[in-house]
Chain A
Amino acid sequence: MLRFFDLERIDAKKRDVVERNKDFEEIYEVFKPVKGSEQSERCIQCGDPYCHNGCPLHNLIPHWLKATANNDLEFAFDLSNETSPFPEVMGRICPHDRLCEGACTLNDGHGAITIGSVETFVNEEGFKKGLKPKFSQNKIGKKVAIIGAGPAGLSAATFLLREGVDVEIFDKQNRAGGLLTYGIPGFKLDKHVVARRVKLLEEAGAVFHQNVEIGRDKTFDELSKDFDAVFVGVGAVAGRKSGLTGEDASNAYVAMEFLVDIQKKLFDEPREKNIEVKEKSVVVIGGGDTAMDCVRTSLREKAKSVKCLYRRDAHNMPGSRKEYINAKEEGVDFEFYVSPKSLVTNDKGEVIAVEMVKTKLGEADSSGRQRVEEIPGSEYRVEADVVIFALGFDNVNYPFFASNGIETDKWGGVLVDENYQTTQPGIYAGGDCHRGADLVVTAARDGRDAAKAMVKMLSK
């Protein structure tokens, strides 16, 4: 260990930009074993493991790094699966530079440990070697219904099954995975990776009911009657609107509409919108990870040009830095310090341009972040055939909440106590539907901790 002194941080290798733009395959290659263990050896094994502390799942990062460095793959695999429901997914899509790697003590000039890439490596290599996460062989004779097969739901299912609780999952989409399947493009997360986890859960006894929407195809009452507990993990997928004039134009979309639609196209599933960007000028408004997903998807869908507009600068972008860099490499045109004023439509109600205004950073607000101020008289126009708003997500207010005594806060988030129990006893919730749009990793934690609370309650 402590090889940080003589070994540089090396990120996982990326596919050539020309090649990777042609398809939706993952752009990162998985570490080769030598690299994986070498990069792990850089770890200090420090007394205050900041990575572990910075990880919402409190993954045992130093411990599996050490195991990896020691070439003890099985041990590393076990440790990484102990706390995380799908480490190979998190290794790919977590904003590591904001969490574990950002907190890594070496991230102050030495170069943080490539925690994400090692995590992916450990699990991919483990799967290759036939390793599998373990589930309880002894059933405790209780069953839980899970609404939503997204990150929170899958995580809850994982940890319930590990404790010998039966689970059935009800999900309105055609395939399980929620956001992991439909929201995150394949170049970041190969869809087989998600499918593999779903299969593992099925092998462990999980029953997936796809294309079932609660309140439409099945009543909530049935669930509460048939199951010992219910976990609600329905996410927050309502795309946030801009409130600009013209935003209802026919070729203006919110990010999730766009991403899901394209993914369904790739799956060859029926689509709602049939969005096509081929040979079109695409403008994406926003600077987060979802915005990056949109621009990069557009490129792969062969858009004529792809522009990303953001009201602050690259440094202030809320998403993961590496996603920005990837997008830039792939040919996205970024414009910073600009803000949309309105959409310009033609007589068919189609967007033809976005009216923009330049901005600057003003005084800091109470959180220390500088406010954005518009610069008067700096308006200009950006031509656009398609406009995509990636401005965040809101909660969906499902009718079954209110009718079953599941209370929500003013933003529509489901209220839960410290055990993830909603205001309705026996009904638990977690993930975005509780906390509002957040990271996959926090949803995974909610699912895990809610599962543990449910087990405790069920085994009383």
Chain B
Amino acid sequence: MRDLFTSFKDNCGFGLLASIDNTPSHRNLEDAITSLSRMMHRGAVAADGKTGDGSGLLLSIPKKFFAKSAKKENITLPDVYAVAMVFSKNEKDFDVIKEVCENNDLKCIYTREVPVNQDALGEQALASLPTIKQVFVAPNSIMGAKRFDALVYLSRKEIEAKIPEDRNFYIPSFSTSVVSYKGLVMPTHIKEFYQDLRNKSFEISFCLFHQRFSTNTLPEWRLAQPFRAIAHNGEINSVTANRFNVAAKMEALKSDVFSDEEMKRLVPIIQSQMSDSASLDNFFEFLRINGMDFFKAARSILPAPWQNAPHMDAKLRAFYEYASTCFEPWDGPAAVSMTDGRYIGCVLDRNGLRPSKYIITTDNRLLISSEYGVLETPEDEILERGRLQSGEMMGVDLKYGKVLKNSDINDYLKNMDPYDKWLNDNMIYLQEHMDDPFSDVSIPEKTEMEARQRYFNITLEVIEQVFEPMVKEGKEATASMGDDSPLAAFSTKQRNFTDFFKQKFAQVTNPPIDPIREKVVMSLNTGFGEIRNILTDDAEHAKRLKTVSPILSLEKLELLKAFGNEKDPKYESGYKARTYETTFGSDLRMSLATLIEEIISDVKNEGIRTVILDDRALNAKTKVMPMLMVVGRLNQALLEAGERHLVSIIAATGEVYDSHMAACMLGFGVAGIYPHMLYQTVAMIEHRKDKDVNLAPILKKVRKSINAGLLKIMSKMGIATVSSYRNSKLFDVIGLSEEIVTECFSGAYGLLSGLGYEDIEERITKAHSDAYATETQNRIFPLNIGGFYKYLSGQEFHDYSPATVHAIHKLSKSGKKEDFAHLKELVDGRDKKFIRDFFALKSDKEAISVDKVEPLSEIFKRFSTAAMSLGSISPEAHECLAEAMNTIGGKSNSGEGGEDEVRFGTIKNSKIKQIASGRFGVTPEYLVSAEELQIKVAQGAKPGEGGQLPGHKVSPLIARLRHTMPGVTLISPPPHHDIYSIEDLAQLIFDLKQINPKAKIAVKLVSTAGVGTIAAGVAKAYADKIIISGADGGTGAAPIGSIKFAGNPWELGLIEAHNALKANNLRGQVEVETDGGLKTGLDVVKAAIFGAESYAFGTGALTVVGCKILRICHLNRCSVGIATQEEKLREHYEGTVERVINYFTLLAEDVREILASLGYSSLEEIIGKNDLLEVIDDAFAKKFSFENLLYKLDGDNTCQVESNEPYDKNEYEQEILAELMPAIKNPNDPIVLEKKISNLNRSFGTRISGEIAKYYGDKGLPEGTICLKLKGTTGQSLGAFLSPGVSIQVNGAGNDYIGKGMSGGRIIITSQKSGADFSLGGNTCLYGATGGKLYINGQVGERFGVRNSGAIAIVEGTGDHPCEYMTGGAVVILGKTGVNFGAGMTGGVAFVYDVEHEFVENINQELVEARRIDTEDTDIERYYLKKLLKDYYNETKSAQAKKILDNFRVEIRNFWVVRPKDMKGPLKIEEGE
């Protein structure tokens, strides 16, 4: 775990600049540096104010400059040479370089010390500053340019291999075409640092530039970007899989460029210890150097989503499908700029999750960057202003001086080879060879079947909770109230092997995907067959057996066997199959090793290509090895043996019957799964109901549920395709021994090293003997009953057992100490169920008297209730918790969903206001009413997932608070659409600090390995508080698989975050809070010792007000009136303020007593003091390694500052606010200001709105009170949370997040260059807006109007996913839209102008429908639209609007009105639709 304290993730600002005709100039360099420095806010700055996380430039070789400087040394550079840029701290490294080069027929011409000015560096950067030198190298004999490039590359790889351990040695670039100038320096100082860059003769024709934001504060010189060929903004979520797959692919390689012997010297291709971006760079560079086409390489590893894009050109789809036989996507948010000297380009990930904007200027230059306006190019010099859309690429052919747009590149790619023919001839779709899928499941005889069900832990509960919803609804069941059962490792009951595995999920540095609403990017497309040489192309490559899901039917399994059976006419040697039984008698360790050895030998010697692992031979005498263990071990062993690329692994297993289990298998390498126990059990149940049942439709539904579950698990980590998920190992393994993790699950993170092969075998043996015991055969009901999901007497432990619930009820009513003592007995005495139970308190001090301990009031300050929205719980419960917490001086949390403004300023005001991904009810007044603003990045119950409030729960009150209409279903997306990366989070924090400068900004994360890294990043993004939520907590409704299998206990996350913050010297900047099943004083004290300063209570607090852990929160039928909006049930609410106070008083008293017994007088003194804990002396405890929880670093243990002040003080707006104050004080005195603005002025209008909301609430000022006329390109978040009465008129352009959360007022953007061909706004505009108007006389980016619930907006074109999750307001689009229009749109209305008749294809038909409006029935719509357009025209003078208005009678025919299917009848404008 210790390595986690210092690990990192990074995001950034990035871009490229190129002279399209490849003309070098010094101005190019200067402009690139200017562009980069104007995105500083996208990077991070260390405390010294100088050390950044790194920035850099990858430049075309400045031939003139290098020639000049060589001349000074009396050296004449040849025409052809390469330059190595070298970081080193050891002079001997250069000898190695020389030696290797010479061996490779290269000669080193001379070595140049790169002049640097150390004054430009911060302290930290200076401390690690290497010597920076350039080595000039030329061919030693006559060779072609391609060969020279190859030898340069080979030499670099060899040099790297020779100096592997030295982290100071690094070669930023070694190339004949580019040179890298990068380092731990801020963009503003890069020119000062690298003196070369000041030289006017330093002329370049193109460059990539990059500014890094690392989550840690231990940046390294070598990690600065660009790398050798790319600059990447984003995160490769599937990088573990990609790295594994690259290693596997290497085995099949034959290169035209390198000999086999040279190839051996090249490996590993992926440099270890580097970032995801560096790995991507390594692979891309490798492909290029081996002669793969620039665009083909780019699109093979970063493909557009083709699997579910029926409207894509068939030939282009064929290219992608062909490419997929060799390449899986490097999946995740990515804007990647890349160059090889000949071409330069930029590609955007399949879901458009990073911004990438371009301009082409009159002087024939292309600039691509994260933001508009970085160069302040005058409007009349802009020829084109646009942006890349999801999955698009653009580039420049530098040789021929031609810009290549997405369609040019696609045309080029699809015609390179006859891909469609190759596929037609060779690719085999299993479906085509099947007559009757799911006609057979071959159920074993009853007694055996029942024993197997017991063995595989298929209990009555599993049937009811897991199988039934699949059969009935075709989806995974929903549950609520979190997971209160022990980790598999600590359990004394039969548990599945996959229970040891906890799913990873995206938080902050990368976004999860919505697999339902953004299904268009998702795919489970699966292929079987060997991976061939990826460096060549021919028809053979297309040989694959294909299917659309890795979950196989028996028929498909048999087909795979048939294709692999020599005696079958379908046989092909590339699919040669063999089945391996995974049974064993005893000695699991040996049996596993033997089986693996056998398989490897068969693959090597007998040409086996399809390995089918089968556990169906289980019987009374033989046990089976855990399938996941076999799979993991085999996957690794095949790679080590160099055979992985040849083999497809299939698991025919009883161990898969939910999506988590399936995901585990895929994550560790299987290609296909035949879940026999699932099918057979379902068949058995259905047969009992109806002997003649047709199983096919039922089993298809079951498979569909598993598929949906898989998509959900993948999307949780932001992975879109199963091919990228396979081998990704995205799990934390908790409680298995290091040996098992290393041998079988390397690549996954092992925590709490514990049970070894012998322990697992012991558990298997017991499960086996229990399953086949004679007793069980005599039962009337043969299965075990369960108890894993719900409490059952004598079964799995649940911390909220009936006894505990009764105890909490009793003590909260009585307020008696003896009743609390009973709870303590139950909880503190539960014995080794949770991690904290394995620690006992010890003290270095004598006990003191309780009177000496800080008073209750001090302890109460640290208590809060966890976020539970009004909507999820009733107003009675919500207000009760607020009043109680305010009374004692703690805090209550509004949850997401707004709060009634009558509560603001009263005892019922929630001090914590939450901002979650739905942004429901997030208005200026809501935000200014808080003392703490909590950004919920993830929640314990379902990290990485969104939520849904079904329409029937949306009462008039809830609808009012959420600014929607009653009865409309409200969807919270999985990601915050304005946080796809760490710099985005920094931006949101900045927004919130503007609207409410007094509030502390908290960020809620969920415990997982790596959360420390995230926490450090969050601290660097200027959050004031970080919450580490336990996956064991979580009251919300969630899919049962997510409740059980995603995220870790809080103890692990807390200790990691606490230490990572310390390791990065950030702990003193932020407060740390935790939650997750805390109940007694001992829980609180232990949480403090592990490093938490404050503590939140969710389920516990609900239990105090009467919750009985019914786990039906999601059904609106809560019988105790808490999790329901039904009036009739709310009458049964019996919680009181007094009960809450009783509980927290007893709890705080308990804390005081424990503190006294330890000899400490305050919690502050024990926070992070983990020498107060020791592991209990217990035989079972000794199996586990707990020392990481007791690891201690020096440094602050608690927050030392009042506020974590952002670097950007926003003086610009502060000054404007001062000028506006008279108008705010006296709205009868309207004011108009004219100002210049640039992209550095972020969140403009927000500080002003915060000030207005403070006095006037959401009513704001009368319209027209403040008018701000701005010239220039604004920064991100223009007009975020804008208050009524403020009008912002921009002449120029805006960037991302315009009008985010706006509540009123107007934002108008016009430009000299306007209309449908020009982009004037960025991505995710109007996110969560509740009112106001936004007019943009141009195009905007992706996800326009996402989650809009009240704003009226008019634009002239949008990117993909427009109007996503919209619940209200009106959007008019006078031009083209991207795909997936109206996904998850449950309210509001959109008008789309569509002359080309293309629009209908772009609609996501799930919830909305488009209708014509030139009928009598649509009278209202027609005139409403006209009214809007008139207003729009008045404000913008849009030519398009004028054209339409002038011919309205004709043009109306070109409009569609889009509304949710549920909304019938004419538009109800007055009612807020």
Interface positions of A (Cβ within 8 A of B): 2, 4-5, 44-50, 52-54, 58, 60, 63, 66, 72, 78-79, 81-82, 103, 105-106, 108-110, 133-136, 138, 140, 162-164, 452, 455, 459
Contact = CB atoms under 8 A, between A and B. Distances in A.
Given A48-B798, A66-B464, A105-B1119, A134 B780 contact: yes
Contact of A47 (B689, B774, B785, B1111): B1111
A199 B582 CA distance: 48
Nearest to A57: B793
Interface string B152-175: 000000000000000000000000
A136 B790 contact: no
B781 A82 contact: yes
Interface string B784-800: 01000111111000101
A60 B792 CA distance: 9
Given A47-B1111, A58-B793, 5 more contacts: A46-B790, A47-B479, A49-B791, A60-B781, A109-B1132
B1005 interface: no
B1194 interface: no
Given A53-B793, A82-B779, A455-B775, A46 B1108 contact: yes
A4 B775 contact: no
B790 A133 contact: no
A28 to B, nearest CB: 26
A52 B1108 contact: no
A63 B790 contact: no
A282 to B, nearest CB: 41
Contacts of B798: 48
Given A4-B1119, A110-B1132, A459-B774, A47 B780 contact: no
Interface in B1076-1131: 1108-1112, 1115, 1117, 1119-1120, 1126, 1128-1129
B481 interface: yes
Contacts of A63: 460, 464, 785
B263 interface: no
Closest 9 CB pairs of A and B: A47-B1111, A46-B1110, A58-B793, A136-B778, A53-B802, A82-B781, A48-B1109, A82-B780, A2-B1117
A44 B805 contact: no
Contacts of A50: 802, 1108
Q: How large is the interface on B (under 10, 10 to 19, 20 to 34, 35 or more residues)?
A: 35 or more
A58 B787 CA distance: 13
A53 B1120 CA distance: 19
A48 B775 contact: no
Contacts of B481: 47
Contacts of B778: 134-136, 162-164
A5 B779 contact: no
B34 interface: no
Interface string B616-633: 000000000000000000
A101 B262 CA distance: 79
Contacts of B1111: 46-48
A135 B1132 CA distance: 46
Contacts of A45: 1112
Contacts of A82: 779-781
Contacts of B780: 78-79, 81-82, 133-134, 162
B793 A110 contact: no
A52 B791 CA distance: 10
A49 B792 contact: yes
B468 to A, nearest CB: 10
Given A48-B805, A63-B785, A163-B778, A5 B1132 contact: no
B801 interface: yes
Nearest to A70: B689
Contacts of A109: 1132
Nearest to A3: B1117
B781 A79 contact: yes
A44 B1129 CA distance: 13
Nearest to A60: B785
A5 B1128 contact: yes
A63 to B, nearest CB: 6
Contacts of A108: 1119-1120, 1132, 1134
B814 to A, nearest CB: 11
Contacts of A110: 1119, 1132
Given A63-B460, A66-B464, A459-B774, A44 B1117 contact: yes
Contacts of A72: 689
A138 B778 CA distance: 9
Nearest to B1128: A5
B1132 A48 contact: no
13 contacts: A2-B1112, A5-B1117, A46-B1109, A47-B1112, A48-B802, A48-B1109, A50-B1108, A58-B792, A78-B781, A82-B781, A108-B1132, A135-B778, A162-B778
A138 B1129 CA distance: 53
Nearest to A105: B1108
Contacts of A134: 778, 780
A44 B1109 CA distance: 11
A87 B790 CA distance: 24
B793 A52 contact: yes
A38 B158 CA distance: 77
A459 B792 CA distance: 28
A163 B464 CA distance: 27
A138 B464 CA distance: 31
Contacts of A2: 1112, 1115, 1117
A159 to B, nearest CB: 9
Given A48-B805, A63-B460, A106 B1109 contact: no
Nearest to A62: B790
Nearest to A77: B780
Nearest to A455: B775
A52 B1117 CA distance: 21
Given A44-B1117, A47-B481, A164-B778, A58 B802 contact: no
A140 B802 CA distance: 39
Interface string B823-866: 00000000000000000000000000000000000000000000
Interface string B393-421: 00000000000000000000000000000
Interface in B761-790: 774-775, 777-781, 785, 789-790
A45 B1132 CA distance: 18
Contacts of B774: 138, 140, 163-164, 459
Contacts of B479: 47
Contacts of A47: 479, 481, 789-791, 800, 1109-1112
Contacts of B1117: 2, 4-5, 44
Interface in B424-467: 460, 464
A459 B773 CA distance: 11
Most buried by B among A4, A46, A136: A46
A45 B791 CA distance: 11
Nearest to A162: B778
Nearest to A74: B688
A41 to B, nearest CB: 12
Nearest to A107: B1119
A79 to B, nearest CB: 5
A250 to B, nearest CB: 49
A12 to B, nearest CB: 23
Contact of A163 (B775, B791, B1134): B775
Nearest to A164: B778
A2 to B, nearest CB: 5
A48 B800 contact: yes
A164 B777 CA distance: 11
B1077 to A, nearest CB: 14
Nearest to A459: B774
Contacts of B1134: 108
A140 B780 CA distance: 18
Contacts of B1115: 2
A431 to B, nearest CB: 20
A106 B805 CA distance: 15
B1167 to A, nearest CB: 34
A371 B460 CA distance: 47
Given A2-B1115, A48-B790, A105 B1110 contact: yes
